Amino acid sequence: MKEWTISSPAGRLHLHKSASLVGLKRDGSQESATASDAVLSELGGFELVRLPEAVDIDRALDDIRERDTVRVGTHVYTAGSDDRPVVPTGLIYCQLAPGVGEAESQRVFESLHLDTLERRADGTVVLSVTSRSRNPLHVASALEQLAMVQTTTPDIDVPLDQYYTAPRDGLFAEQWYLDNSGSVPNVPHFPLKPGADARIRAAWSRLGSLGSDRITIAVIDNGFDLEHPDLRGKASHALTVHSNQATVPRGSAYGDHGTPCASIALAPANSLGIVGAAPNARLMPLHGLTYSSYLTERMFSHCVSRGANIISCSWGTIDSRYRPGRYHELAVRKATTEGRGGKGCIVLFAAGNEGRDYLNYYCQLPGVIAVGASTSNDTHPAYSNRGRGLSVVAPSDGGWPVLAARASWDTGISGADGAKKYYVDGRDRGPHHKHFGGTSSATPLVAGICALMLSANSELTAAEVKAVLERTADKIGSPASYDASGYSEQFGYGRVNAERAVVEALRLRGLDTAPAAPPPLVELRVADRARSGYGLQIGAYRNQDGVVQLSKQLRQTLDLPVLISEEQGAGSTLYKLILGQFDTADEARAQLPRVRAAGYPGFVRELATVA
């Protein structure tokens, strides 16, 4: 049949068989199955390929199924005027009528050549087609005609939307969203609003640290470059959702979105690249965005069983035909109530970038923290979806973009000269980063803030974390946009404030919330020496903790004294790191080959000129 009507969370979904797309699961060899090109590497566990339009799609698929390298082949469908591919995964959720016994139903399932994967207490049976079964849509339709069956829902997968903003045409100082002084270094003609940030740096000071290394943030997405300098050594309990393998794939065929999202949440303070909101947190990368109910259950169950504290999801849909249904909701509810030993995992979803007056449907699931975006000037970016259910907003693109890690295979976008572009202003910031944005960026930023809150008070429940985020947020935008209860459909309860959230987490733990002094630098200064002579300036940084770590590394590696000079700027502090103290410039210059051989830049600086 070319047309099918199936049950879905949105009601009846009308599907039309594609005339050119098929889905394949292959063994070993990845030879093209008479395909002119691969369309998607993963959808419902299948690789989607396009056959020539002129072929008979049924006959062509039968021929492909006969190949030794093809384990399973399936038709692909579309819904109405939407050209996104829809793939039956081969699984069927069957809700039995009350009183139907296991033996009775099992006889029926076996007669249709179905395998029984699960029998659940609520009467749901999860079935799988076999090589002897008919098309899963046909089988679901046949089951639905039986009096013993209340409903059947064939499991389908469809590409979901990733909520990022592409580039429009040491880096801590450029991370205005952590601590906004009103400008970005070397970007003179783009003023920002001082204080239009998430107060991350202030939260670190309140904690007296960069957060706990016992907190794990699960990022569910596609395309993780775990060898990136901002992610290397951070990951544990990885999962490729479709194959259930304990690893994540590499390469452009698998996307690149997960890399910047993860870096925004937890890039380490290692004096390289950028710094995430929770630099000490661990990463649990789950590769494989999916609408499939069964695979959604798998991904959230993995997060719960492997100890994720926070689950960050920068994806979803505003298409009502593919709104999450009962089994999606149960999977998320299990995480928010049973995770963390019963305290609940904190689950965040991006509001979406379609500029609509309603949110990504996944944001509407109970217990979810729905995250929108704000700009570098504390305004609402037009792309960020609005509506009831929005929890908070967080700094992102719309003014000056966010800086994030980029996968080594990220191709960027082509400029007018054919060159690849990664930065809005065209100024190169090195091979490992790019400008990023959208609610995709705002969501992991809030996930990192949640990690700081749990570092302050690990006993907080998921519901308490959500409540604290909302009541400690800063009201931005016009006061008229907020109702009497302090809620705005543009900004939710306001722009997230990490410092206030951490202070409240500490208060709920019963700890003193007086301002904490920043980690001391005194022992690293050459404070008792006159600032005369010359040294080698290694760099200037705004991340105090990173400077401390780098100073220790320099002293251990090169056995030279270190001077750290503090220079106060507009709302922030710049730390200049000087290596050595020599009587003459030539003596300092003589150390340059050794310093550079150790991997550090440097130039001669007269100490008397250091602020």
d(CA 477, CA 376): 12
CATH number at residue 588: 3.30.70.1070
d(CA 441, CA 375): 12
Q: Is the separation of the CB atoms in 477 and 491 below 8 Å?
A: yes
Q: Indicate if 192 and 226 belong to the same structural domain.
A: yes
Q: Indicate if 173 and 48 belong to the same structural domain.
A: no
Q: How far is CA 399 from CA 46, 165, 171, 378, in A?
A: 39, 12, 18, 9
377-383 average pLDDT score: 94
Which pTM value belongs to this model? 0.78
Q: Indicate if 271 and 146 belong to the same structural domain.
A: no
Q: Does residue 431 form part of some domain? A: no
Q: Indicate if 534 and 499 belong to the same structural domain.
A: no
* Better-predicted residue by pLDDT, 596 or 377: 377
Q: Does residue 514 form part of some domain? A: no
Residue 521 banded pLDDT, cuts 50, 70, 90: very low
Q: Indicate if 497 and 554 belong to the same structural domain.
A: no
**Overall size of the chain counted in residues:** 611
Lowest mean pLDDT among 198-207, 342-351, 355-364: 198-207
Residue 522 has pLDDT above 50, yes or no: no
What's the domain count of the chain?
3
Q: Indicate if 245 and 372 belong to the same structural domain.
A: yes
* Helix, strand, or coil (residue 269): coil
pLDDT one-digit tens code per residue, 97-108: 998 999 999 999
Burial (CB count <10 Å: 0-12, 13-18, 19+), residue 208: exposed
Residue 291 has pLDDT above 80, yes or no: yes
Q: Indicate if 28 and 152 belong to the same structural domain.
A: yes
d(CA 393, CA 449): 12
536-561 average pLDDT score: 73
Q: Indicate if 381 and 252 belong to the same structural domain.
A: yes
pLDDT score recorded for residue 516? 47
d(CA 331, CA 313): 14
- The residue from 157, 176, 195 where one domain ends is 157
Q: Does residue 313 form part of some domain? A: no
Catalytic residue set: 221, 257, 440
- The residue from 509, 536, 555 where one domain ends is 509
Q: Does residue 428 form part of some domain? A: no
pLDDT one-digit tens code per residue, 154-183: 999 998 888 765 544 357 788 888 888 888
Radius of gyration of the chain (CA): 27
pLDDT score recorded for residue 165? 56
Q: Indicate if 82 and 145 belong to the same structural domain.
A: yes
d(CA 4, CA 87): 13
Q: Indicate if 446 and 548 belong to the same structural domain.
A: no
Q: Indicate if 498 and 529 belong to the same structural domain.
A: no
| Structural domain that includes position 197 | 166-301+368-409+436-509
d(CA 330, CA 332): 6
pLDDT score recorded for residue 8? 81
CATH number at residue 480: 3.40.50.200
Q: Does residue 352 form part of some domain? A: no
Q: Indicate if 170 and 141 belong to the same structural domain.
A: no
d(CA 250, CA 261): 16
